[in-house]
Structures are given as C-alpha cells and as structure tokens.
Amino acid sequence: MFGIGIPEFILILIVGLIVFGPSKLPEIGRAVGKGLREFRKASSALQAAINAPDDPVPSRSPAPLHAGTSEAQQAKEPAPVEAAAGEPVSAEKEAAQEVPAVPKYDPPTQESVRAQLEEQKKHA
C-alpha cells in the first residue's frame, strides 16, 4: 500500500489521533472511504465509456403512412410531386426530389482487415 509498512502506518495513526482527537478520527476515516469509493466508481465509469463501441450510423426512420394506403402501396408508389399553379410536373423535377438510399453500415471484421492489410503488402 504505497510502500508504507506497519510501523509507518502506526505512526501516522498516532499523529492523526493526537492532531484530530479520538472523536474526529472515525469521521475522517468515513470521509476518506467515501472519497475512495466515489473515485473508483468514476474511474470505472470512465473506463466503460472509453471501451464501449461507437454507435453505427443511425438508420433513417420510415416515412409516415398516408391515410387509406398500405405500406406495400406506398413502397410501390413514389411520393406525389406537387406542381405550382397548374404547371405540369416533369420527370426531372421528380428525380430531383427523390432521396438516395443510405447504405447500411457494416463494421469491419478481423477477416476484412486482414485482407486489406495483405492487399497493401502486395501493392507495396
């Protein structure tokens, strides 16, 4: 324990007893114990936060259903494009309003990393 032997520990207790008195010594011991306990709890929480894996890219939530249509019908039919004041809707405007699909995030595996390293060694 910090390189302190039994004789040094007894000397520290005697000095503490003389300085603080017998009534305050148990209170000081409790306070030190609580402080050490809180420190250990905080350090273990910090280690858990550091070692926790990062969250993958969040997935998009599904679009709300229009009244009177099923999910299958909505998947087949594109969202309606509204034209301003009777203007005909062109295919270019529809294409501009479509949202591209976001690819699913797949975390790297040990095999894929090894394969990448082997490819780098071959090219180097």
pLDDT at position 25, please? 82
How many Cα atoms within 13 Å fall on the side-chain side of residue 69? 13
Global pTM reads 0.35
Per-residue tens of pLDDT for the chain, all 124 residues: 467 888 898 898 888 889 888 888 888 889 989 999 999 999 998 888 888 777 655 555 555 555 555 555 555 555 555 545 555 556 556 555 666 677 787 888 889 899 999 999 888 7
86 occurs within a structural domain: no
62 occurs within a structural domain: no
Range of the domain at 19: 6-51
What DSSP element (H or E) covers 56?
none
Count the domains in the chain: 1
Q: What's the CA gap between 9 and 118, in Å, rounded?
A: 58
26 occurs within a structural domain: yes
78 occurs within a structural domain: no
pLDDT at position 67, please? 53
102 occurs within a structural domain: no
31 occurs within a structural domain: yes
90 occurs within a structural domain: no
Residue type, 69: T
